[in-house]
Chains A and B, each alone.
Chain A
Amino acid sequence: MFIIKCPYCGERDHSEFNYGGEAHIVRPKQPTELSDDEWAEYLFMRKNIKGLQYERWNHSHGCRQWFNVARDTSNDKIHSVYKMGENPPK
């Protein structure tokens, strides 16, 4: 249970949001040239980090915007929120 600060609407309960998985997984530019291993890597393999994770959230019951969150998965504490397209904070 936690509160997420939507970059557009401010602080809201997490139940207003939908989780979008690990962030910064880039879709391959030339899908036709990928090997099976590379496809598996892109489609299925995940870091599944215990610790600081960069992830996507969607304010689905609010402004419906996507954005990124840096959250510690070992205690659910949110360190920062940043917009899509921005680099993760150091």
Chain B
Amino acid sequence: MKKTYSIFSLIKNSFSYHENWQRAWRDPEPKKKYDAVIVGGGGHGLATAYYLAKEHNLKNIAVVEKGWIGGGNTGRNTTIIRSNYLWDASAGMYDHALKLWEGLSQELNYNVMFSQRGVMNLAHNLHDVRELKRRTHANRLNGIDCEWLSTEQVKKFCPIINCSPNIRYPVLGSTLQRRAGTARHDAVAWGYARGADSMGVDIIQNCEVKGIKRTGDTIDGIETTKGFIQTSKIGVAAAGHSSVLANMAGIRLPLESKPLQALVSEPIKPIIDTVVMSNAVHAYVSQSDKGELVIGAGTDAYISYTQKGTHEVIEGTLKAILELYPIFSRLRMLRQWGGVVDICPDASPIISKTSIKGLYFNCGWGTGGFKATPGSGNLFAHTIAKDEPHKLNAAFNINRFVSGDLVDEHGAAAVAH
């Protein structure tokens, strides 16, 4: 068992100049056989392993990761957490995640720096106003906190937004979810890794899956760069590379993997104490604890696994940012990066069994998987352990693309998810 982090452990370790802290997780070689193997050591994969061990009493589990844990989209997103989705299925699932976020630091004994600073979604035209008011009502019917702010209230809540009626896309109002906010992305991966490891989960980094071996419709194991691992259950949480894994298993997924970019500015003093999103002009901003503005840009239209997007996308986002926040006009951008996101046709995720027994997929989170990390892992663990979905992820099965029972959040949330 891991030693608990506390004020006492901090004091005790200060006497040895903090040189004797225990490793947060081991670095094991893979065993020959596991009860379940999770492919992908991002937040979703690590959370899945954590809940499998904790809630379903499965101890012989491995997480295999081709790079380092949290080095993919977990370390590349803009850390926004919210649950103000339109449809009942999404609202149920994302609010389940939000409720887990609210106790996560205590649960993991690891500070994930969850900050409920509120998330605003701005309306810029009459259609936006109707759509967002509808979403406000839908959220409240589902027990999710959401308020409608008038332009004056927007100005009061976040004074640096340009609320002039003379801009190209004037601010006509906004929704506000006060329970929403941000968290520290690395800490989420590390906290779940530490928690899972302390329950005996083997986290195996630098271990790429090269093939999925099966006999008929049952799983035999996975071929990896560290040798063959025998297992009867594989949970894939590989984000942008989900289709690559699906191709190994010989199944098809409705995904397209595209580059999504984000950028941060040079650090400045605290100026924006909430998260402001605008789907219509595609601009969203928050401020990190270091003082950098964290800005999410959009996806490029074409499939690419390069983790690089185009300059036009960033230019478009920054134009919108500058109109909404003229105060940022002389701010310099510090860093810019891309990740590969797997997008479903209905912009909702897949947490599902497949046609192959023992093979499960957790994918299609597209541009907004971070917010769901605890809920996604929790529900995926349930699906893997019981071989049937939890009622909260039943709607997110892979067969919805055959039945036509889609969870169409594209219209509800526009570009940002």
Query: B-contacting residues of A (Cβ < 8 Å)?
Result: 1, 14-15, 18-19, 21, 36-37, 39-41, 43-50, 53, 55, 73-76
The interface-forming segment of B82-90, B178-186, B247-255 is B247-255
A48 touches B306 (CB 8 A): no
Query: A-contacting residues of B (Cβ < 8 Å)?
Result: 241, 243-244, 247, 252-257, 301-306, 308, 310-312, 342, 345, 401-404
Asked whether A45 and B401 contact (CB < 8 A) given A1-B310, A50-B241, A50-B244, the answer is yes
B256 touches A46 (CB 8 A): yes
Q: How far is the CB of B328 from chain A (nearest CB, A)?
A: 25
A14 cross-chain contacts in B, Cβ below 8 A: 310
Instruction: Name the CB-closest residue of B to A48.
Output: B243
Asked whether A40 and B402 contact (CB < 8 A) given A47-B243, A74-B305, the answer is yes
Of A15, A18, A43, A76, which contacts B304 at CB under 8 A? Answer: A76
Asked whether A53 and B303 contact (CB < 8 A) given A15-B310, A48-B243, the answer is yes
Q: How far is the CB of A69 from chain B (nearest CB, A)?
A: 10
- Expressed in whole angstroms, the Cα–Cα distance for A45 and B345 within the complex equals 9
A73 cross-chain contacts in B, Cβ below 8 A: 257, 303-306
- Expressed in whole angstroms, the Cα–Cα distance for A36 and B402 within the complex equals 6
Query: A40-B401, A43-B401 known; 4 other A-B pairs, CB under 8 Å?
Result: A46-B252, A46-B256, A48-B243, A76-B306
- Expressed in whole angstroms, the Cα–Cα distance for A89 and B72 within the complex equals 34
Q: How far is the CB of A23 from chain B (nearest CB, A)?
A: 12
Name A's interface SS: mixed
B254 cross-chain contacts in A, Cβ below 8 A: 40, 44-46
Interface CB pairs A-B, < 8 A, 19: A1-B308, A1-B310, A18-B301, A19-B302, A36-B402, A36-B403, A40-B402, A41-B252, A43-B345, A45-B253, A46-B243, A46-B253, A49-B247, A50-B241, A50-B243, A50-B244, A53-B303, A76-B306, A76-B308
- Expressed in whole angstroms, the Cα–Cα distance for A45 and B242 within the complex equals 13
B342 cross-chain contacts in A, Cβ below 8 A: 48
B255 touches A48 (CB 8 A): yes
A75 cross-chain contacts in B, Cβ below 8 A: 306
Asked whether A15 and B312 contact (CB < 8 A) given A36-B402, A40-B402, A44-B345, the answer is yes
Q: How far is the CB of B345 from chain A (nearest CB, A)?
A: 5
Instruction: Name the CB-closest residue of A to B309.
Output: A1
- Expressed in whole angstroms, the Cα–Cα distance for A78 and B134 within the complex equals 45
A40 cross-chain contacts in B, Cβ below 8 A: 254, 401-402
Instruction: Name the CB-closest residue of B to A1.
Output: B310
Of B308, B311, B402, which contacts A37 at CB under 8 A? Answer: B402
- Expressed in whole angstroms, the Cα–Cα distance for A87 and B311 within the complex equals 33
- Expressed in whole angstroms, the Cα–Cα distance for A14 and B301 within the complex equals 11
Instruction: Name the CB-closest residue of A to B244.
Output: A50
A1 cross-chain contacts in B, Cβ below 8 A: 308, 310-311
- Expressed in whole angstroms, the Cα–Cα distance for A65 and B403 within the complex equals 35
B303 touches A55 (CB 8 A): yes
